[in-house]
Amino acid sequence: MQYVDIVVAVCFTAAAMPCIRLLQTIGYMPQRGYYKLLYSPYYASIVILGAILYFVQWSKWQWTPLLACALALTLSFVYILHFTKPRLVFTNRAIRLVVFSCFACYGMTWCMPYFAVCLLLPFAVLVAWLITLPYELAVYQYYFNKARKKIAKKQAEGMQIIGITGSYGKTSVKLILSQLLDNSIATPDSCNTPMGIARFVNGGGLDSDHIQYFIAEMGARRKGDIARLCKLVCPNHAILTGLAPQHLSTFRNFDNIVKEKSKLLSCIGSDGCAVLNGADHEVRKLANICKCNIVITQSDDFCHTVQNITADGTEMQLTAYHVTYNFTIPLLGVANADNVAVAIAMCVALGNSLDDLTQRCQHLQQIPHRMSVIRNGTLTVIDDGYNANIEGIARCCATLDYLSDFKIVVAQGIVECGKQTAFLNTKAGELLGKSCDVVIATGVNSNNIVSGAERAGCKTVLTANSLNHAVKMASQYYKSNTVVLFQNDIPQ
């Protein structure tokens, strides 16, 4: 029976994979919403499985262990197939969690019936998380300190660090800035957490002798995140891209977001520079907390306007220190014009020539999933998949208003908004409904999006069961010169 219990424990661990996946998704921090698992269809399936095992085990059927294995594996496969994104990534930490979850399940099979083990699967994973937590904290601190020493050494050799934070636009500004600054390197993709940056640094990201500027994206989901990143990176300069009600499920309110993001500005010394995106009125209000030199875009000294937008790019006029430049960037949208202006402002503050910068801007590469354009004959697809805040949606709609094409949007709304989820997604629906001819909503926020779009007077408002279903529905409305916008592809 000992071997049977081991096999059953392994199968129960497989059934617990969605629990581990959720824990990984929320950064291995159960307080971020792990309890919601108990109200999910997954746990309802667990309860049904437990009820079946209760009646079967009560009848003392000899094949109960085999049935337990079959049901647990079936549940695992169903949910692995259903939750295709984000998939469980088998990192070293995830593997340790799986192993200790298996031990927890094995121990439970010794002291309780199978149906009870089944019902307690989310708690078995939580026990495994608690067991591994001291080790994980020690690992975290080791790699954090190792990265901090490497960064400090490079700073002592003359490397300057630019920290970028904000509720939106961080990655876009980072990638634009890295293309404009010579001898610069940026954190890859959307890497903006302490461990993500530490992994990049410890993996040799700063080993080159030619690096003059390190551009670090700094994200925050709760109080203390920016302070922790500043302790790791110690930035010389700062960029604040924008403020919006995002991650409200952890920040609780907008004021906490403003206070947290502004901590980056507070840590910049008097010999540094801070660039504030003046297109965002909330950002403008933070100028008085800076101890360093400040450049505010959309001010008397540094401002820009969008002249025209086509699927090929954005024509903009930039006036900096009483000199005007007209140029076209191969990036789409009002938001990207703001991002380019902010990046240019930082480059000028670091001593670069405006003539050279405006020339370089005409050869910028598109930023994946952030108003990136794919052309196919008369069909234009705009991939705005990583746009997940109301300010970003507003700027996206302002961009669409420049285009005369027939416009279709596939939208999944905004996540992690806490108590404001319904309000913000209804507002997102209104904005999209005013700018688009067809609105196709999908995902958990679809009802709010539909309500907002209908309120805005959009004549064709539809609901899709999945992203694939939404794509098929959109194809039925294609006309000559059609634009299809994908807004936020976060999975349902």
Domain boundary among 312, 337, 361: 361
Range of 90-99, 110-119, 233-242 with top mean pLDDT: 233-242
Q: Examine residue 105 and state whether it is found in any structural domain, yes or no.
A: yes
Q: Examine residue 18 and state whether it is found in any structural domain, yes or no.
A: yes
Q: Examine residue 143 and state whether it is found in any structural domain, yes or no.
A: no
**The predicted structure's pLDDT at residue 115:** 78
- Rounded to whole angstroms, what are the CA distances from 299 to 177, 226, 284? 20, 27, 10
**Model's pTM, two decimal places?**
0.84
**The predicted structure's pLDDT at residue 340:** 96
Residues 376 and 229 in one domain: no
Residues 378 and 356 in one domain: no
CA–CA distance, 361 with 179 (Å, rounded to integer): 9
Residues 114 and 164 in one domain: no
**The predicted structure's pLDDT at residue 253:** 85
Q: Examine residue 148 and state whether it is found in any structural domain, yes or no.
A: no
| Total domains in the fold of the chain | 3
**The predicted structure's pLDDT at residue 75:** 61
Note down the domain range covering 261. Answer: 158-361
Q: Is 282 exposed, middle or buried (0-12, 13-18, 19+ CB in 10 A)?
A: middle
Residues 236 and 341 in one domain: yes
Residues 217 and 293 in one domain: yes
Q: Examine residue 153 and state whether it is found in any structural domain, yes or no.
A: no
Element (H, E) at 179: helix 170-180
For residue 218, give the CATH number of its domain. Answer: 3.40.1190.10
Residue 288 has pLDDT above 90, yes or no: no
Residues 184 and 308 in one domain: yes
* Residues belonging to the chain: 492
Closest CA to 109 of 2, 19, 15, 14: 2
Q: Does residue 134 have a cis bond before it (omega within 30 degrees)? A: no
Q: Supply 230's token pair.
A: 């500043």
Q: Supply 352's token pair.
A: 């670069």
Q: Supply 168's token pair.
A: 């939106």
Residues 57 and 176 in one domain: no
If you average pLDDT over residues 94-120, what whole number do you get?
86
Q: Examine residue 150 and state whether it is found in any structural domain, yes or no.
A: no
When comparing pLDDT for 73 and 455, which is higher? 455
> Count of CB atoms within 10 A of residue 475's CB?
12
Span 224-275, pLDDT tens digits: 899 999 999 999 999 999 988 877 677 878 888 889 998 999 989 889 999 9
Domain boundary among 361, 389, 418: 361
Q: Examine residue 449 and state whether it is found in any structural domain, yes or no.
A: yes
Task: Locate all alpha helices (DSSP H) within 350-458, ordered by sequence.
Answer: 354-361, 390-400, 421-435, 446-455
Order of strands, edge to edge, in the sheet holding 313-320? Answer: 302-310, 313-320, 323-329
When comparing pLDDT for 354 and 60, which is higher? 354
Residues 8 and 115 in one domain: yes
Domain boundary among 328, 361, 394: 361
Tell me which of 21-35, 43-57, 83-97, 140-154 is least confident: 43-57
Closest CA to 341 of 374, 405, 297, 376: 297
Residue 492: pLDDT band (50, 70, 90) is: very low
Residues 234 and 342 in one domain: yes
Residues 181 and 287 in one domain: yes
Q: Examine residue 236 and state whether it is found in any structural domain, yes or no.
A: yes
How large a percentage of the chain has pLDDT more than 70?
A: 91
Residues 204 and 237 in one domain: yes
For residue 475, give the CATH number of its domain. Answer: 3.90.190.20
Q: Are 245 and 166 in contact (CB under 8 A)?
A: no
**The predicted structure's pLDDT at residue 430:** 94
Residues 185 and 227 in one domain: yes
Span 384-424, pLDDT tens digits: 888 778 888 998 999 999 988 899 999 988 877 778 888 98
Range of 86-90, 244-248, 289-293 with top mean pLDDT: 289-293
Residue 370 has pLDDT above 90, yes or no: no
If you average pLDDT over residues 85-93, what whole number do you get?
78
**The predicted structure's pLDDT at residue 66:** 60
Classify 302 as helix, strand or coil.
strand
